[in-house]
Chains A and B, each alone.
Chain A
């Protein structure tokens, strides 16, 4: 068997090892490669930047452990951006697993003097799936009468005049699973509320048909997150990961080329026989 032929029949473990190096090297010594900014991210940024004073934002933080590394940067960056704007924020989670990450996010941003209960509220994990979202749209109090810490909503100053979807101006939804369509069905289709979506990069292709009519902006994965971090001038966890994206992607391209060379020679020899 020639060397070229062998290229087409490599043991997968060879490139598993190469992959480990491709990931590890930029982490140990960062390369600092540039990232251009894309339109869906810019749209999301501009919308938040131009929210009128006193707007209410419903933040659905539905990211859990497994996907945090991909979308966490975007979550922190958008949350940071919202906290720097004169708006009120209501946070809830669709999944129980997301609860620790909400606390993690709130501990890792600069709150710009926003006070709990007056400027932002954390409702905790709200069970019930899509029915919960429908309930939330008609009345928040039909789903939960207290916040995550057990304080009745009526005792929180900012919640006094807020109860249903009509009091809310923007929905930001961060997810790692595929529940975004439920948000479209419950918030966007019936009430026409704008939604900004933060989702893993692989979901971008799936959700792209909804942009820009149904989702006004999409922040997709590490790359979108890194762009958003650049826009708010706070490089964070996503910016660190973009270097490894370059190296690993190049590795995959090289492997595809090797596979094709191997295949080409294999076929040539088979034809010769």
Chain B
């Protein structure tokens, strides 16, 4: 059993990154919980659901407008699902009506399971309705129809988004909803940033699940990611120095 050439450095790096994360998780288990910077977008979720409750209008959650749980977008979908789980719990607690939409059939059953689970945790399983989670083909035109029809008060969109992001966000704005957006599909980030009230930019959304759980062990995993960034910065600087000394490290990165 040998490593495939061209993937050796990637494998080693993956192990190092996992090592960072696991190290911090273990530290957190020992009670040394790292401090995190505030993420206003996540703190705004409570505010958004609270306002929707006061107004008696529903909360809309979207876990992406494409990208399935079974392909390379999975990590973004999972990040969206963790936000959905949190919002569903809040909605169950305050008896706020919730509507979660997805155009991706693969994600639909798991979203529905997550919402049901959140209601069960708050002992409100009887309030869970199958129409809380809706499969919406033709998302770009149909989701806004649902948003207008239900007159939503909060629009939370975290997940892999394509061109639909700006449509959803603008219609949400025209309804006067509080909007929280987050995505790691880079070409949609500009719209989320421009038209939402609160944003999770790229990597921040991956921290969402851990951040919202307030579970020290998961928070540890976020601190682990930071060392990955330090590794990237150091590698760049080291590469530059070596390059100046006439020695190229590039081929080792491609090993």
Binding site for B on A (CB under 8 A): 12, 129-130, 177-178, 181-182, 189-190, 202-203, 205-206
* B72 and A206 contacting across the interface, CB-CB below 8 Å: no
* B 23-48 binary contact with A (CB < 8 Å = 1; else 0): 00000000000000000000000000
- Note all chain A residues with C-beta closer than 8 A to B163: 202
User: How many B residues, CB 8 Å from partner?
Assistant: 12
Question: How far does the alpha carbon of A203 sit from the alpha carbon of B185 in the complex, in Å?
Answer: 10
* B174 and A178 contacting across the interface, CB-CB below 8 Å: no
Give 12 CB contacts A-B under 8 Å.
A129-B71, A130-B71, A177-B162, A178-B162, A178-B187, A181-B72, A182-B72, A189-B6, A190-B7, A203-B187, A205-B186, A206-B187
Assuming the contacts A177-B66, A177-B162, A182-B72, asked whether A202 and B174 have C-beta atoms less than 8 A apart, the reply is: no
Question: How far does the alpha carbon of A202 sit from the alpha carbon of B161 in the complex, in Å?
Answer: 13
Who on chain A is nearest to B140 by CB? Answer: A66
Who on chain A is nearest to B10 by CB? Answer: A189
B192 to chain A, nearest CB (A): 14
Question: How far does the alpha carbon of A182 sit from the alpha carbon of B71 in the complex, in Å?
Answer: 11
Question: How far does the alpha carbon of A177 sit from the alpha carbon of B71 in the complex, in Å?
Answer: 14
- Note all chain B residues with C-beta closer than 8 A to A181: 72
A45 to chain B, nearest CB (A): 25
Who on chain A is nearest to B188 by CB? Answer: A202
* B6 and A190 contacting across the interface, CB-CB below 8 Å: yes
- Note all chain A residues with C-beta closer than 8 A to B186: 205-206
* B187 and A202 contacting across the interface, CB-CB below 8 Å: yes
Binding site for A on B (CB under 8 A): 6-7, 66, 71-72, 162-163, 170, 174, 185-187
* B72 and A130 contacting across the interface, CB-CB below 8 Å: yes
Question: How far does the alpha carbon of A19 sit from the alpha carbon of B71 in the complex, in Å?
Answer: 38
Question: How far does the alpha carbon of A205 sit from the alpha carbon of B191 in the complex, in Å?
Answer: 14
- Note all chain B residues with C-beta closer than 8 A to A206: 186-187
* A12 and B174 contacting across the interface, CB-CB below 8 Å: yes
Who on chain A is nearest to B66 by CB? Answer: A177
- Note all chain A residues with C-beta closer than 8 A to B6: 189-190
- Note all chain A residues with C-beta closer than 8 A to B185: 178
Question: How far does the alpha carbon of A12 sit from the alpha carbon of B173 in the complex, in Å?
Answer: 11
Question: How far does the alpha carbon of A203 sit from the alpha carbon of B6 in the complex, in Å?
Answer: 27
Nearest 8 A-B pairs (CB), nearest first? A206-B187, A206-B186, A190-B6, A202-B187, A203-B187, A129-B71, A205-B187, A178-B185
Question: How far does the alpha carbon of A182 sit from the alpha carbon of B162 in the complex, in Å?
Answer: 17
A221 to chain B, nearest CB (A): 12
Question: How far does the alpha carbon of A206 sit from the alpha carbon of B174 in the complex, in Å?
Answer: 29
Question: How far does the alpha carbon of A257 sit from the alpha carbon of B228 in the complex, in Å?
Answer: 42
Question: How far does the alpha carbon of A202 sit from the alpha carbon of B187 in the complex, in Å?
Answer: 7
- Note all chain B residues with C-beta closer than 8 A to A203: 187
Question: How far does the alpha carbon of A12 sit from the alpha carbon of B169 in the complex, in Å?
Answer: 14
